[in-house]
Structure 1
Amino acid sequence: MKFRLQCLLAAVACANCLSANAALGTSPTYTATVRASATQAVMRMSATAVPYTVNEATLADGTLVREYVGQSGTVFAVSWHGPHMPDLSALLGSYFAGYLETVNQQHAQQGSAFGPATVQRSDVVVQTGGHMGSYVGRAWLPTGLPAGMSSDDIQ
C-alpha cells in the first residue's frame, strides 16, 4: 500500500509539467501580489504593520498556488486549488518526508491509499482534499504563523 501511494505521488508530480517551487520554511518563489481577502485579514490584525504578504501564481495546468511569507522573508504557509494536485514534495520541501510517513500510517490504518488527508504534526500541518479536476489544500508551520493570525486565514 505504501508503494502504491508513493507511485501515485510520483505520477502526480510528473504529470504536473510546471510544478510549484514554494517550499515551506524557504524563501518565496513568486512575486508578491495584492489579494483583497489577505489585505482585509491583515487590516484586522494591525492598522499599521503588515505581518505577512501573499504571493500567488497560476501554474501551467491552471492550479493556483499561494505562498504566505512572513516578515523574516520565509514561507510559513502555502495553499492551492485547481484542476491538478501540485507537487507536494516541492510545496512542503523538507517537511514532505514527515508528511508522507504520517499519510502512509493513516492509510495503512484505514485500509485505503486514496482520499483526503489531514496531517497534524508539531512541525507541520497539511490538509488536502477535493476530487478529480478540483483539488484543494493548504499547509503551514504552526510555529511560523504571525501573531494574531490563525490557520483560518490561510485560504
Structure 2
Amino acid sequence: MWSRVRRAGIVTALALPCSFIAVQSAHAGLGGAPMTPPTGASVSSRIVQPGSSAVNAAQSVMRSASNAGSSATASTSYTVRETALGNGTVVREYLASDGSVFGIAWRGPQMPDLNDLLGNYFPQYVAGVKAVRAARGGSRGPVAVDQSGLVVRSGGHMGSFNGQAWLPPALPAGVSGSDIQ
C-alpha cells in the first residue's frame, strides 16, 4: 500500500507541470496573441478602418462586414479588443489581421501587469525605464520609452493610471501610434 505522503507527492508531481502550462497559456502580450481574460472580466471587440473616428466606428464595423471579400478592407482594417478587468481597469488590445497584438492601451484605478501585457518586450521596457530615470536623476513620474522597435508611454497617479504601448514596425498601413488609445 502507498502511504499518504507518497500519494500526495505523486499527485503533486503530476499536477505541477499541468499548472505551469495553465499559467503560461494565460500570458500573452505585445507581438503575440491577445491576453486570456481573467475570470470576471468582460470582453468586447470591434473592427476599425484606419482613419475612422470613434464616432463612426459602428459604421466601420458595418462597412468591414459588408466588404469582407474585399482585399483592401482585409489588409487595412484591424480589431480593437477591449477587456474590462474586475478592478475597473480597461485594457485595449489592437490586433492585426493575423491576430497578433501590435498595440495596447490601458486606463483605470490600478496599473495592469505590464509584464503580462508587454510579453517578450517587457525586459526592453524595463531597460528603457532605467535609462530614462537615470537621465533625469532617478526621479519618478510619467515614463516614455521611445525606441525604433517599441514605444511605451505610462503615467498617472494612485487611482488613475493610463498608458499605451505599440510596436512601430508592426503598425498596419494607415495606423499611427496616436491611434493606440
Aligned residues: 134
Which of structures 1 and 2 has the larger relative contact order (alpha carbons within 8 angstroms, sep 6+)? Answer: 1
Following superposition, which runs of at least 4 residues in structure 1 exceed 2 angstroms of deviation? 29-32, 38-43
State the 1:61 CA deviation. 1.2
Equivalent residue for 2:112, pick from 53, 73, 86: 86
Q: How does 1:55-94 map to 2 (within 5 A)?
A: 55-94=81-120
Change (3 A) 1:81 1:114: same
The TM-score normalised by the length of structure 1 is 0.76
Does 1:138 find its partner at 2:159?
no
What residue in structure 2 maps to residue 108 of structure 1?
A: 134
Task: Note the residue ranges of structure 1 that are not aligned, 5 or more in a row.
Answer: 1-19
Equivalent residue for 1:23, pick from 20, 26, 29: 29
Change (3 A) 1:103 1:67: same
Contact 1:41 1:153 in 2 (8 A): no
Change (3 A) 1:136 1:61: same
Change (3 A) 1:154 1:101: same
What residue in structure 2 maps to residue 6 of structure 1?
A: none
What residue in structure 1 maps to residue 57 of structure 2?
A: 40
The TM-score normalised by the length of structure 2 is 0.66
State the 1:34 CA deviation. 2.9
Contact 2:91 2:107 in 1 (8 A): yes
What residue in structure 1 maps to residue 146 of structure 2?
A: 120
Task: Note the residue ranges of structure 2 that are not aligned, 5 or more in a row.
Answer: 1-25, 38-42, 48-52, 68-72
CA RMSD of superposed structures (Å): 2.6
Distance 1:28 1:39 in 2: 25
